[in-house]
Amino acid sequence: MPLIRWAVTSVLVVVIVAFGLRLGYAWNETAKIPREVIGTAAFQTETGHIAYSLATGKGFASPFQRDSGPTAWLTPLYPLLVAGIFNIFGVYTRASFFAAVFLNIVFSAITCVPIFYAGKRVTGLSVGAGAAWLWAIFPNAILIPFEWIWDTSLAALLAAIILWATLGLVDRGHWRYWIGYGLLWGVTLMTNPALLSVFPVLLGWLIWTRRVRGRFRLGKPAMAAVVALVCCIPWTVRNFVVFHRFIPFRSNLSYELYIGNNENYDERHRGRLPVITQDLETLRYLRMGEIPFMDEERRKALQFIESHPRMETKLLGWRFVDFWMGVADPWRAFVAADSWLIRGILLGNLVSSVGALLGMVALFWKRNQWALALAAYPVIFPMLYYVTHTSLRYRHPIDPVVLLLTAIGGGAIWGWGQSVFQHNKRTVAGGLALSSS
């Protein structure tokens, strides 16, 4: 029994199981892909194309393979990482594909560690272990490291580390911790700038919490914010020099807005991508150049939003469901699915979404001091995607926190059930005692 308890609550065991499940899935799926395409197909994305440009000495450029000049379509960290893989293992080779997938698997498996310790700090060992195990077996977390050579798995790890670090800073006062926190945010923003949305909430929560505890010093949070800003300055300066436009992170927000809000929208798609031809959009991009193209996309998207207010209300609702379930019509998708993997993904999304809501309710009901920090992820982060468009992987950076909240919600239900059981047991025992007397 002590051995089983140790295994269940050991973060090392959880990480090993998580790594094995992801590696097993990747091994199984790789066998289904022809050898001649496995080195190229996975890199036919903006990330792969920019990494190709970097590895071949053409700079941070050409997100659509063809030479189109410098780009700010993505932030630099992950494309640079893939370019490094290309330089070591070859451009568009099987070895590079395996290296990139293996690195994603490592990122995903290690995510168990910050979630384990964050959960342990918030509620206790059982919740921390439960959250880590949920992440280890979560279908999305098993398939995404293989399916997307993108920053998704790394962003999930960084988001989980940020939560862990934020909770730890409540009791740490030395300057080096705050400088490290700022560096962590700088790396995160250069990986996935969408996480910027939770930065002011977490920093504000830290300031408020430390003030309540009598440790209020504005200089240290300000230092963390300045360090994070400094990490972003080189990229912002590069973009200004190249494009003569203030682009602190990415240039493609207008394009993402247009994808989800355009004149070609067909209501039969129920919140999915409207009927636009990517090839035609790519040709327009190549003909116009990045900045004029983005300006035109923003103009068309805003015009559609302003002229179709009722449709926008529907789209917001569908995108909300789509973000949390992976599809805008989950019941129909579940019934029509011919794969238990797809059904498992839908069920996992449903359980984790409802569980996260229950976890937030439980934390705020008990006036838990950590409630706001955890709730920032599922409440604030998705708003960008409610406005633009959604995908299964867009939610993934916050999935570790979502599963932590699910574990908290499950723990609260378990505790409530036990209290009800004990109350009924005492009531029955009292009734028996009275009847026997």
358-377 confidence digits (pLDDT tens): 999 999 999 999 999 999 99
Q: Are 150 and 78 in contact (CB under 8 A)?
A: yes
**What is the residue extent of each domain of the chain?**
152-249
Mean predicted lDDT score pLDDT of the chain:
90
Q: Which residues contact 252 (CB under 8 A, 6 or more apart)?
A: 72, 73, 74, 294
Q: Are 436 and 387 in contact (CB under 8 A)?
A: no
214-233 confidence digits (pLDDT tens): 766 788 889 999 999 999 99
23-35 confidence digits (pLDDT tens): 999 999 998 888 8
Q: Are 23 and 142 in contact (CB under 8 A)?
A: no
Residue 283 has pLDDT above 90, yes or no: no
Tokens encoding 214:
């009598």
Provide the pLDDT confidence category of residue 302 given band limits of 50, 70 and 90.
very high
110-123 confidence digits (pLDDT tens): 999 999 999 999 99
Closest listed residue to residue 387, CA positions, set 308, 305, 303:
305
177-207 confidence digits (pLDDT tens): 999 999 999 999 999 999 999 999 999 999 9
Q: What pLDDT is attached to residue 348?
A: 94
248-278 confidence digits (pLDDT tens): 999 999 999 998 888 776 555 554 545 455 6
**What sign results for the dihedral spanned by CA atoms 125, 127, 131, 133?**
positive
What is the pLDDT averaged over residues 313-326?
A: 92
**% of the chain residues with pLDDT over 90:** 68
What is the pLDDT averaged over residues 234-253?
A: 96
pTM for the whole thing? Answer: 0.92
Backbone angles phi, psi at 61, to 5 degrees: -155, 170
Q: What pLDDT is attached to residue 426?
A: 64
Residue type, 61: A
